A and B are shown apart, each in its own frame.
Chain A
Amino acid sequence: MFLRCLSTLVLLLLGALGAAAKDAKPVVNHCLECHAAFDGKLGDPARQFPDDIHATRGLTCADCHGGNPSQEDAEKAMDRKQGFRGVPKRSEIPQLCARCHSDGAFMRAYNPSLRTDQLTQYGTSVHGKRLRAGDTRVAVCSDCHSPHSIRPASSPLSTVHAPQIPMTCGRCHADPMRMKPYGIPTNQLDDYRGSVHYQTLTGGDLSAPTCATCHGNHGAAPPGVASIERVCGTCHVFQEQLFDQSPHKAPWQAAKIAACLTCHGNHRVEHTGDALLGTGGESLCLRCHAKDDAGGKTAQRIYADLTGLDSNLGDAAAVLDRAERAGMEVGEARLTLSNGREKLIKARVDVHTMIPARVEQNTEEGRKLALQAQQAGQQALAEYAYRRKGLALSLIAIAFVVGTLWLLIRSIERRPPAGEEVTRP
């Protein structure tokens, strides 16, 4: 019985394996076998392609280059009459990739969530427009994605994985020779590397902005003066809304002064600080305003508010630290302090309105919270001192009782033993 069951199972298993083998379509690609024997640019594609996402999805060299990969004979395999395309011209590459990537029905079979408007977007990009105009030096699909080792953007090995994007763009845009004909600067990559965005990106936050976040990827183009605010506003939503309420908005728009980057820069967006306001050495406001004009006075007022609250919060934190080091429980006061810090953050965001009353609303609330936290810390320290005094009194009382007990023992033990005899050493 057991043997019969076992043999049935084995037969079923073999049957299933046979069926699976019948369904699998063997991929014959003699291109790789021949090209792997070459060095340099004839051999590299054959070595790179097996790890390419297209190869892993079952596509072959022929899907882009044409020809017949099942032919072992090179002449027959690369017969132009048979549809062999060879190396596509740079100007043809976007259309070549778009044959599949712009075909929604085709792409759905591989990755239903992948967009299929890359070619349309590319057509709106500076690269696309120049290519159409006959400039074949501009970037095409294979320049950014690599021709034969394309990986999904989520792969750290991909040239378009978020931390790789600055280098990918920088390969051309940081090359003075390449950029010379276009007369555009090549310091973007260096500037970006000094930015808070790059620090965040390399700190592990892959959602931090890269070149493509602000310029677009397939539709890459520099944002115009009018749209800079909207571009930054996709992430910095509140700042954008608040800037719309500021007195800078209308005159800057009229004078075609770009919002955001006028104060923060474009590629090198650095950490901000209260010192950028006011009338000190680092002040940005003094670039346009004088110390004693209305703008200068507003800047000074806002600066004083922010630094005042920051200092109050610092004082409160120092008191709470001391109380905590003494072992006192100040968790609630810490919460109050963190609410105060939140008010400071809000006030710093409100700076984009450049309306002192708006900033003061939050700094005032923050100051109250800082004061509360500081008072709680001082109370905790006073309580600690009180406890020490109480402890001293208690220890004196305990010492007194212990002394009295000791004297009592001595007096009892000096008495002659009553009743039964107590043996002594």
Chain B
Amino acid sequence: MENRQRLEQIDSGTMPDATAQQQPAKGAPRLLLMGQRRSGKSSISSVVFHKLPPNETLFIESTARIQKDSLSSFMDVQIWDFPGQIEIFENSNVTFDIDAIFGEIGALIWVIDAQDDYTESVARLHHTILNLQRSYPQINIEVFIHKVDGLSDDYKFDIQRNITIQIQDELSDQGIDNAPVNFHLTSIYDHSIFEAFSKVIQKLIPRLGQLEAMLTNLCRTCRFEKAYLFDVNTKIYIATDNTPEDMSSYEICCDFVDVIIDFTEVYGSWPRTQQWRDRLEGEPWDQPLEDQVACDRAEAGMILSDSQRPIMLREVDRFLALVAIMKEGSYDKMPQINMNVDVVVKGLEEFFRITKQKNIVEPTIMKGPGRPLQGGR
């Protein structure tokens, strides 16, 4: 509670007109975006969370104050975008309430511009990790080595190796060995940024293992090659089965979701007339439209010409969709597969109902004596 109050003080004090209208639920994980100026932090959050086309990020102005966004999806996440010029740990003018910033954090994302000289950024990152390790050792530190589009593969991996070694050496010099620091190569011009965010978000999901087990099971029964559970709005995948990661499967599934979203917008987002409906529900159908469909949610399938491999999609709820790449020639088995998918979708709903509930119940328990829900037990 103290954290929250102090946080509000910061809100009203140092940045009066920061998005104060949002009061996200307590316990919503927070992602902090930090890094040097012009390293691409705001572009990242615009592309991932606001669907800005990557080439339009050219027009984004430099961020002057902390930008707060919240993503309400299957899980509420806050995204704080820090201006590059702010030094959290050494700033003589404004003292930041470190606890308010890092107290409820989910992950710190440090963005490094790979096309620029990154010595200073790495030094600052190192400094930040040291400071955080003292008080908040549980915070995940995710380093995005950014703007790697246009760099050759060799060069990319060289940079990654350099930075990793530098950070780890310096940390172990200070006696810190197992800091939770991860490195990702990213670019907003391809899927890598979404993939990196997927990894970051997955670490924040309670009982991820359970989700993965469900998907693995589905893949085995339906002979899927790969299945993903997507957050439709951001194209972040929140779980996948346990077969090895494969960037190209992720890309095609991601784009499949995009195509479906576009189709839905064009043909599914405007109201039809009553006459239209009346005609369709009259002779020879004599049934309400709702009863004429087999599945009340979005379902899609397509077949690649090459080797006749199908890809299928099924809406799970308002935020999530299941996308899977199927084995060659298995489109004929679609009816059976649909039944299996039905079961898994029900299971997923149950899963999120239970984990969501937990989030709501916990604070009430913590609040004290009342315990309205759990009273007698």
A joins B in a complex: no
Report which A residues bind B (CB closer than 8 A): none
